[in-house]
A = this chain, B = another copy of it.
Amino acid sequence: MSNQPNAWILTIGNEIINGVITDTNRETISRELRSVGITVKGMSSVGDDPALIADALEMAMNRSRIVIVSGGLGPTEDDKTAASVASFLGVNLRLDQEQLERIEARFRQWGRPMAPTNAKQALFPEGSIPIPNDHGTAPGFRIERNGSVAMFFPGVPRELVRMLRERGLPAIVERFGVSEQVFRTRTLHVYGLSESKLGEILADVAHDEDDYHLAFLPRFPIIRLRMDARGQTAEHADRIIENKQQVLTERISENIISDNGRSMEQVVLGLLESKGLTLALAESITGGMIGEMVTRVAGSSRVFMGSVVSYSNDMKSSILGVSESTILAYGAVSHQCAREMAEGARVAGNAGVGLSVTGIAGPDGGTPDKPVGTVFLGLATPDTTITRKHLLPGLRDWVRTLAAMQALDLLRRYLLELRIHGEEE
């Protein structure tokens, strides 16, 4: 998928060089460039040192016509990118009044005083073109030398990706006239299959083609399948994507959560709302994680009533009405307790649907009969209550995250009338 000018990615920061953080900006930039048909030739990283930054920039600009740089644009002493670039170009820094006012306006909007050091973020190498930042304080900038363009962005991942999409890529497309072809991308969110299982199922359809690429992007416990297609026209590219998606849907339809970037919680809330149902939770092992996930979604209050995080058995009984004899006879981690928790949540939240989860996250508390990872889910609806048992792999964090996702998937499958996994009572 090339013929276009290629690109070099340069990331700057002592924390990268010292191995203190995982530098994910490189892969983000690479994927964004790919979406407009630009191939990455190489990547490099150096610390916040002017001589090394200048050297790395020279290496990159000599090798690629497009250089994307991130990092070192913050307000502190450590952030040396702009000054290093000025010295590399043999020019001075100049204060950009417009960008300074934007930074000041941002602090006013936050209701916080601007530290004097933030003014430094409005200093740019002479002859460079500022790139406004609508998502944070540090603007970027762009330079050109011997036909190569270098663009500098802040290292904060969410600011970087938005600035790149909104400002960087359009400027590159305009400057280099790349991508007379049309690029389309679509991402499926997949849950419930391991990466290796998915790899097996899709082995014969996962190869690169001239106009199509399928990438596996795991973000535990979701795997994103990203389809990139290139066509002579938008219709052409769209048709490639549609055809490829149809093949994927034939193989793994029940595991595809969404094809439009929506998360599990967004999908479940949407399904509930379309059916006029409200939701209440009873969480034990997940400690509030499901409520937190659901309430990430703006407008969730239309559907979500609340959650009773009943970590103590006391709260299971007093608020959810789980009978003490149930806990005595079967334990708090049991089909019976999950059932009474789900029904109790439905009543406590005055909701259409009650969803519960109880289990053993570890490291302690496991028994031969109910080892760490044992989880019971309950779903109480206007018609019936069902429960399911799962044995989830991994350590505490994994077990909890999987338990939350498995509970939401149980509800999704119920609402879509799909097969429901797990061991019945």
Contacts and interface: CB of A to CB of B under 8 A. Distances in A.
Interface of A: 14-24, 26-31, 34, 40-47, 52, 55-56, 59, 63, 74-78, 110-112, 115-118, 194-197, 199-200, 203, 206-207, 215-217, 226, 280-281, 283, 286-292, 294-296, 298-301, 304-312, 314-315, 318-319, 348-350, 361-364, 391, 393-394, 396-397, 400
Contacts of A292: 286-289, 292
A283 B307 CA distance: 9
Contact of A364 (B110, B298, B310): B298
Contact of A289 (B21, B110, B281, B288): B288
A405 to B, nearest CB: 13
Dominant secondary structure at the A interface: mixed
Contact of A26 (B23, B75, B350): B23
Contacts of A42: 17, 44-47, 52, 56
A24 B22 contact: yes
A21 B199 CA distance: 15
B308 A312 contact: no
B19 A199 contact: no
Contacts of A363: 298
By Cβ-Cβ distance, the 8 closest A-B pairs, closest first, are A287-B295, A288-B288, A288-B291, A19-B30, A19-B27, A110-B393, A307-B309, A44-B44
Nearest to A42: B46
Contacts of A350: 312, 314-315, 318
A257 B206 CA distance: 48
- Of A31, A215, A304, A311, most buried by chain B (CB within 10 Å of CB) is A311
Contacts of A46: 41-43
A172 to B, nearest CB: 16
Contacts of A52: 41-42
Contacts of A41: 17, 46-47, 52
A281 B307 CA distance: 12
B306 A308 contact: yes
Contact of A19 (B34, B295, B349): B34
A391 B306 CA distance: 24
B34 A16 contact: no
A307 B281 CA distance: 12
A111 B304 contact: no
A15 B14 CA distance: 25
A311 B305 contact: yes
24 contacts: A15-B215, A17-B42, A18-B215, A19-B31, A20-B226, A42-B46, A55-B63, A76-B196, A77-B206, A111-B393, A115-B194, A115-B196, A116-B200, A117-B196, A118-B196, A287-B296, A287-B304, A288-B292, A291-B291, A295-B309, A298-B364, A305-B311, A306-B311, A312-B349
Contact of A311 (B304, B315, B394): B304
A307 B312 CA distance: 10
Contacts of A391: 111
B45 A17 contact: no
Contacts of A289: 288, 292
Given A34-B18, A287-B295, A319-B319, A199 B117 contact: yes
A394 to B, nearest CB: 7
A137 to B, nearest CB: 8
A74 B195 contact: yes
A295 B311 contact: yes
B30 A17 contact: yes
B76 A195 contact: yes
Contacts of A112: 194, 393
A309 B287 contact: no
B19 A394 contact: no
Contacts of A45: 26, 42-44
A264 to B, nearest CB: 15
